[in-house]
Every structure is written in structure tokens, then in C-alpha cells.
Amino acid sequence: MGLQKSNEGKLTFINIKQGKLVVKEKDKEPVFYSDILGYITKVEFKDDEYNGQKFEVAKFFIKDMQESFCLQMRTDSGYFRGLANSLKTGNPKEKFLIKPNYKEVDGRPRTTCFVTQEGSVLKHAYTLSNMGDFPPAEKITFKGAEVWDSSKQTTFWKNWFLTESWFSGFEENVQLEQPINQLNKDTELIDDLPF
């Protein structure tokens, strides 16, 4: 009997690029996937910087069996807002299938995440026709041009993640009985952006 290497405890980091999940390991080519399936065990926020530009990153920790992932995205992105809006209508004790989406509308990128649970695409908790207590985006002037500012929406979702208790006790309440469906390469979801 000799030493054996275990994958237990290994955390795979995942980023999003133009609607695809990207896994990049040191000295290897990046590998692209369409979606990921697993339990979300916690969410963290971290300040980051790239090429002198500062921004905040949301880290979604996803687990199934002995596999652990950290899905990272900027909090000022449509990916983050779309994912949060869908997660609010889901069951945190069940697996989520998360699929980022990217498309261009009038030459501008539109991004979101679609979320499926138990075979059904989760609806957004808030839509333009049902805003409830969700703050609207505001039109502001930036460098002489009018742009939409969604920073209040980002703050709303961040506060929701930080105050919700539905992640606590995850390990005690959820049995990780089935292996993760890896990172699925071919999953189609309905392309429907409510706002």
C-alpha cells in the first residue's frame, strides 16, 4: 500500500466569459462549459482589481459529493443580478443547474444566468411588472452620456445574500447522495429576459 492522492478538498475555480463557464488550471488551456449542477453552500463577496480597475466579486461555493467549485462573477454584472433573482424563487436545499447567457442587443452585451431546479426553469422573483421592494435601475449621466445605473439593485442582492439564513446549516441538512453531473456541455434553456 502506498500513498494515494485524493481529490477531496480540491476547489475548482470557475469564471464566466461571454456566456460560458471557464475553468483555467495553471499551465493548461482553458476549458469551456455551458452550465454547472450542484448545491450552493455559501456566498462570499471580495474586492478585486484588474489592470488598475477595482470591482467586487461574488463567490458562489457549489458542492456535490466530493467535488467543490467556486463560481465567481462581478457583482455589477447581469450574471450576478440574474442569478440572484432566480435563486430567490428556488429551494436552497436542492440542487441548482446554473447556465450563464450572453447575447448582444443593439450592439451592447446583455448577460444573465438561467437557473433550473427539479427540471423547471426558475422564474425571476422581480420583473418590470412586479417590482415589489426591488429598487429600479436609475438613468444617470456618466462622461457626458446617459447610462443605466443598477448599483442599488446590486446592493439589494448583496444584502439579501448576507442576511438570509438559508445557507446556514447546509452540511447538516442536505445529503450529497448523487455525483455531480459534472459541468454539462450541452444544456438548452429558454432564452427569456424579463428585464
Per-residue pLDDT at 184 exceeds 80: no
pLDDT bin (cut points 50, 70, 90) of residue 192 is very low
Residue 162: predicted pLDDT: 85
Q: Are the C-beta atoms of 103 and 97 separated by less than 8 Å?
A: no
Per-residue pLDDT at 164 exceeds 70: no
Q: Which residue has the higher pLDDT, 173 or 126?
A: 126
Q: Which letter does DSSP use for residue 130 in this model?
A: B
Q: What is the mean pLDDT of the chain?
A: 83
Residue 195: predicted pLDDT: 39
Residue 143: predicted pLDDT: 81
Residue 119: predicted pLDDT: 93
Q: Is 133 exposed, middle or buried (0-12, 13-18, 19+ CB in 10 A)?
A: exposed
Q: What is the helix (H) or strand (E) element at residue 46, kind and residue range?
A: strand 36-50
76-101 average pLDDT score? 94
Going by C-alpha positions, the residue among 88, 87, 93 that lies closest to residue 71 is 87
User: What percent of the chain stands above pLDDT 70?
Assistant: 79
Domains of the chain and CATH, by start:
14-123 (2.40.50)
Q: What is the helix (H) or strand (E) element at residue 55, kind and residue range?
A: strand 53-64
Q: Is 22 exposed, middle or buried (0-12, 13-18, 19+ CB in 10 A)?
A: middle
Q: Using one digit for the tens of pLDDT, what is the confidence trace for 116-163?
A: 999 999 999 999 999 999 999 888 887 888 888 889 999 999 999 988
Length of the chain: 195
Side chain identity at residue 58, one-letter code = A
